[in-house]
Amino acid sequence: MIYNSFYGYAMAICDRYTNNHDDSVEILNDGFLKIFKEIHRFKPAYSDEIGSFKGWLRKIMIYTAIDHFRKNRKHQLVGELDSAVYHLQADVEGALDKVSYHEIIKFIQDLSPGYRIVLNLFIVEGLSHEEIAEQLGISVGTSKSNLAKARKQLQKILFRQNKILIAKNAG
């Protein structure tokens, strides 16, 4: 019942940390396994037990995704970004309004694994670079560098997406 009730919520978290469905499902299942093993330790942090449980579940899924990243890091090749930097024009920023949640998640999934996890932990989860460095076993400088590169890579993806939208509208 817990699995079915929180599947969608947990899967949305897992999807942000991977670029393929199989990895997301692996993280989800590993996370739920941890939840079921430790559910006897769950104590609601506040009167809203469902909200408190969701927070606990979220934290477990995030840390399971971090563990998955660490375990698979040695098997992943991180490609270098092109040296070209694109400067977005004013009309490109307007294109962001036309991008759906699912497209944004897809763009984040297209990031290199190291960039994707730092971006999620910093922007979505609100961790500091010091906390990210500690969790991932990297230096603070690497965390900052990966975040900057992730932002540039996303900017490049959005630039390409905007060019596609403009071409479709012109044609």
CA atoms lying within 13 Å on the CB side of residue 44: 7
Q: For the chain, what is the total number of helices (H) and then of strands (E)? A: 8, 0
Residue 42 lies in a domain: yes
Q: Do 97 and 126 belong to one domain?
A: yes
Residue 82 lies in a domain: no
Q: Number of folded domains in the chain?
A: 2
Residue-wise pLDDT for 78-118, tens only, equals 433 333 333 334 444 444 555 677 777 888 888 888 899 99
Residue 28 lies in a domain: yes
Q: Do 103 and 149 belong to one domain?
A: yes
Q: Which of 73, 108, 126 is the last residue of a domain?
A: 73
Residue 154 lies in a domain: yes
Q: Do 67 and 102 belong to one domain?
A: no
CATH of the domain at 37: 1.10.1740.10
Q: Please check whether residue 59 is in contact with residue 100, taking contact to mean a CB–CB distance below 8 angstroms.
A: no
Question: What does each C-alpha distance from 102 to 15, 85, 108, 167 come to in angstroms?
Answer: 10, 25, 10, 21
Residue-wise pLDDT for 34-82, tens only, equals 999 999 999 888 888 889 999 999 999 999 999 898 887 654 434 333 3
Residue-wise pLDDT for 119-168, tens only, equals 999 988 899 999 999 989 999 999 999 999 999 988 888 888 777 777 77
Residue-wise pLDDT for 18-33, tens only, equals 888 999 999 999 999 9
Q: Which domain holds residue 158?
A: 90-170
Q: Which of 73, 98, 126 is the last residue of a domain?
A: 73
Q: Please check whether residue 114 is in contact with residue 78, taking contact to mean a CB–CB distance below 8 angstroms.
A: yes
Residue 78 lies in a domain: no
CATH of the domain at 122: 1.10.10.10
